[in-house]
């Protein structure tokens, strides 16, 4: 059974480990920013984990952290900044369980929508998460934002 809970400060090392094991370096090629940008993201994520009102949830299976989601409230929407699941637990309902909890939180907060995005490489191929977001009921807005790192950011939205 998958357990979803709020992350605590002691979960941070596990979150970093999940991020590092959610995709292979080959899969990431052409879809992620340089290492220094990733480090800044990790600093921001750590500050969110340390807040009292956290927007970071952990998915556990048999008491083992296997995934997480990081989201922030922006006006009348929740923006999903990151969701990662260990490769060996992908396509087993972990991401869906995390998103079901995020959606419950969004409804409780009366937010109008959920926003997220994924990368599209220079060849126009979307990151593997694109299909996940579509299956979760998100719609591609058609908006493409140049990352400045050789790939684009594809904005996705779901009304609550």
pTM of the full structure: 0.91
91 domain residue, yes or no: yes
95 domain residue, yes or no: yes
123 domain residue, yes or no: no
User: What is d(CA 21, CA 31) in angstroms, rounded to the nearest whole number?
Assistant: 16
118 domain residue, yes or no: no
Buried b (16+ CB within 10 A) or exposed e, 15-49: beebbeebbeeeeeebbbeeeeeeeebeeebeebb
10: CATH = 3.40.630.30
55 domain residue, yes or no: yes
137 domain residue, yes or no: no
User: What is d(CA 46, CA 150) in angstroms, rounded to the nearest whole number?
Assistant: 27
Band the pLDDT of 9: cuts 50, 70, 90: confident
Band the pLDDT of 53: cuts 50, 70, 90: low
Residue 48 belongs to domain spanning: 2-112
Number of domains in the chain: 1
136 domain residue, yes or no: no
121 domain residue, yes or no: no
pLDDT digits (tens, 9 = 90+) for 80-122: 999 999 999 999 999 999 999 999 999 999 998 999 999 999 9
């Amino acid at each position: 059974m998958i357990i979803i809970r709020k992350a605590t400060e002691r979960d941070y090392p596990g979150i970093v480990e999940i991020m590092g094991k959610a995709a292979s370096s080959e899969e990431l090629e052409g879809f992620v920013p340089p290492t220094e940008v990733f480090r800044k993201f990790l600093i921001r994520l750590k500050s969110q984990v340390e807040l009292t009102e956290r927007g970071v949830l952990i998915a556990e299976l048999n008491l083992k952290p296997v995934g997480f989601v990081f989201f922030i409230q922006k006006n009348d929407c929740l923006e999903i900044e990151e969701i990662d699941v260990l490769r060996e637990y992908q396509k087993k309902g972990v991401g869906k369980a995390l998103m079901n909890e995020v959606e419950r939180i969004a409804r409780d907060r009366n937010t109008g929508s959920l926003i997220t995005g994924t990368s599209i490489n220079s060849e126009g191929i979307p990151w593997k998460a694109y299909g996940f977001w579509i299956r979760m009921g998100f719609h591609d807005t058609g908006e493409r934002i140049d990352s400045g790192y050789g790939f684009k950011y594809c904005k996705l939205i779901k009304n609550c």
